[in-house]
């Protein structure tokens, strides 16, 4: 199949149309929330607050910046492992995320921050917009190398919309707790992406097989992404939790889970190689599964050892997935999952949903305290008559809703992306930057010379 990959008018027009629409919608709908408005001084005095620190900014901004790094450097560089797709990995991720966060501010704003005709944005909205885009970055991992930037913008437009609907159903209708987004971000993002790539199946993709692997330095660039994701994941899972002990606990649980996950990933990677050697793909990906899988339960009383167990299991499951499941999905189910997101976000996301449901259903006032339990699950509001067991059931329902939204949405979006005029690359040109990027000239001879012998003498 051969398509026209010249994006000269399609990409600029798409970008400019979307951005103009965003400007108009922001003009009509978006205002600052009270903590970011100059009238804050008045409300501070009314509330007898003595300290500027009570501004939400100081509670959330450091976490926001960590999440921001995860989205742009973390996901962006994680995908640079491909030898000839570094520009696109970092660059397209940059593009789709920059568009996605704006659209997410609107979509999530309409559902959650809409008062008196306006969306009121503050730092928590910025975090949630980054979260939403995180789910698009996950899906990007499945289709990486096989789609054009125009397709990615279209996919982002729809996925952010669907994400927001799904999130609204889970958080507002089902009253599910999902601070780190095991269900809303990872499960939804992964199965959405897998469905899209299934629809976009390319039977002759083996023609660009040689570029679908790493070279030495591309693997090191990818480790930059891995480590920034790994290090800042405690901020990710705690960023929008309740103030105080909930944020604190979410960070500790995530830290523990991720640490355990590294050891079991390494163990499995070595055990599954005939000479006991480690595989960079596992170190780059499976080590992160522990963060995904405590996304829902991190702010609950999972306990440090519970977090270790979750990380322990996910490191094993994720590495096994890379070795056995990804090839199976490709050969039997025709699902070409470039980055193996099924192993990093799909299965661990579902595990995370289940862990969250079980942990919630085990909650009791013995463990949380009477007041603590009410605050942790919102049992003090209109959920007065709820109990832990009900919460657990609704949590479990959240998993299925997310899966259903991902599958149905993925099919629709996949079909739209299959249209022949989005500038997608031919099968033999996949995973290749030069389709969409002006490439630097290769240096004529060896670029490096040990001593300046080739330099003209500087001294007479």
Report the site for a copy of itself in 223-282 (rule: CB under 8 A): 223-224, 227-228, 230-232, 234-235, 243-249, 251-252, 255-256, 258-264, 266-268, 270-271, 273-280
| CB-CB contact of 424 with 151 (8 Å) | yes
Per-residue tokens: 436: 């969409």
| Residue numbers 352-391 binding a copy of itself by CB under 8 A | 367-369, 371-373, 375-376
| Smallest separation, CB 182 to a copy of itself (Å) | 20
Instruction: Pick one of 16, 333, 404, 419: the residue that binds a copy of itself (CB under 8 A).
Output: 16
d(CA 331, CA 83): 23
| Residue numbers 402-431 binding a copy of itself by CB under 8 A | 425-426, 428-429
| Smallest separation, CB 432 to a copy of itself (Å) | 7
Instruction: Pick one of 78, 79, 107, 123: the residue that binds a copy of itself (CB under 8 A).
Output: 123
| Smallest separation, CB 41 to a copy of itself (Å) | 5
- 439 part of the interface to a copy of itself, by CB under 8 A: yes
| Smallest separation, CB 197 to a copy of itself (Å) | 21
| Residue numbers 139-158 binding a copy of itself by CB under 8 A | 149
| Smallest separation, CB 405 to a copy of itself (Å) | 25
| Smallest separation, CB 265 to a copy of itself (Å) | 9
d(CA 188, CA 202): 23
Phi then psi for residue 339, to 5 deg, are: -95, 5
| Residue numbers 62-91 binding a copy of itself by CB under 8 A | 62, 65-66, 68-69, 72-73, 76-77, 80, 83-84, 86-87, 90-91
| Smallest separation, CB 453 to a copy of itself (Å) | 9
d(CA 61, CA 56): 8
- 18 part of the interface to a copy of itself, by CB under 8 A: yes
Per-residue tokens: 338: 């470039």
- 448 part of the interface to a copy of itself, by CB under 8 A: yes
d(CA 70, CA 379): 32
Q: Return all residues near 234 (Cβ < 8 A) that are at least 6 apart.
A: 250, 251, 252, 254, 255, 258
d(CA 90, CA 299): 31
d(CA 218, CA 90): 12
Per-residue tokens: 130: 């980054």
Cα–chain center distance at 370: 35
| Number of residues in contact with a copy of itself under rule CB under 8 A | 167
d(CA 370, CA 366): 8
Nearer to a copy of itself, 97 or 399 (CB): 97
Token pair 């605050």: residue: 375
């Amino acid at each position: 199949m051969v398509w026209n990959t010249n994006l000269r008018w399609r990409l600029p027009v798409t970008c400019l149309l979307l951005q103009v629409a965003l400007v108009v919608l922001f003009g009509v709908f978006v205002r600052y929330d009270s903590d970011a408005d100059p009238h804050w001084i008045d409300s501070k005095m009314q509330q007898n607050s003595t300290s500027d620190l009570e501004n939400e900014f100081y509670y959330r901004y450091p976490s926001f910046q960590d999440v921001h790094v995860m989205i742009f450097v973390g996901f962006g560089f994680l995908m640079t492992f491909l030898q000839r797709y570094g520009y696109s990995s970092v660059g397209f991720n940059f593009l789709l995320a920059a568009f996605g966060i704006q659209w997410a501010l609107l979509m999530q704003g309409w559902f959650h921050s809409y008062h008196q005709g306006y969306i009121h944005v503050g730092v928590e909205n910025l975090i949630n917009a980054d979260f939403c885009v995180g789910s698009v970055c996950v899906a990007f991992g499945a289709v990486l190398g096989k789609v054009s930037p125009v397709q990615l913008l279209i996919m982002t437009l729809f996925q952010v919309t669907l994400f927001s609907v799904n999130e609204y159903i889970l958080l507002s209708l089902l009253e599910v707790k999902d601070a780190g987004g095991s269900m809303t971000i990872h499960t939804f993002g992964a199965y959405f992406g897998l469905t899209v790539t299934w629809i976009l199946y390319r039977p002759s993709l083996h023609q660009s097989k040689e570029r679908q692997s790493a070279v030495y330095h591309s693997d090191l660039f990818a480790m930059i992404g891995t480590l920034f994701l790994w290090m800042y994941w405690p901020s990710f899972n705690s960023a929008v939790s309740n103030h105080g002990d909930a944020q604190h606990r979410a960070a500790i649980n995530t830290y523990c889970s991720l640490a355990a996950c590294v050891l079991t990933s390494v163990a499995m990677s070595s055990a599954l190689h005939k000479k006991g050697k480690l595989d960079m793909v596992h170190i780059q990906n499976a080590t992160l599964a522990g963060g995904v899988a405590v996304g829902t339960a991190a702010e609950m009383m999972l306990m440090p050892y519970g977090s270790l167990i979750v990380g322990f299991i996910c490191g094993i499951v994720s590495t096994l997935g890379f070795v056995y499941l990804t090839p199976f999905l490709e050969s039997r189910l025709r699902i070409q999952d470039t980055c193996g997101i099924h192993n990093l976000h799909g299965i661990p996301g579902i595990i995370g949903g289940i862990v969250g449901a079980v942990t919630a259903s085990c909650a009791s006032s013995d463990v949380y305290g009477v007041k603590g339990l009410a605050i942790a699950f919102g049992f003090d509001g209109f959920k007065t008559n709820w109990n832990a067991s009900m919460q657990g059931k609704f949590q479990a329902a959240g998993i299925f809703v997310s899966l259903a939204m991902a599958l149905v949405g993925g099919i629709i979006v996949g079909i739209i992306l299959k249209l022949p005029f989005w500038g997608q690359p031919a099968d033999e040109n996949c995973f290749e930057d030069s389709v969409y990027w002006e490439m630097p000239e290769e240096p004529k001879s060896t670029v490096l010379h040990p001593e300046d012998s080739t330099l003209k003498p500087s001294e007479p």
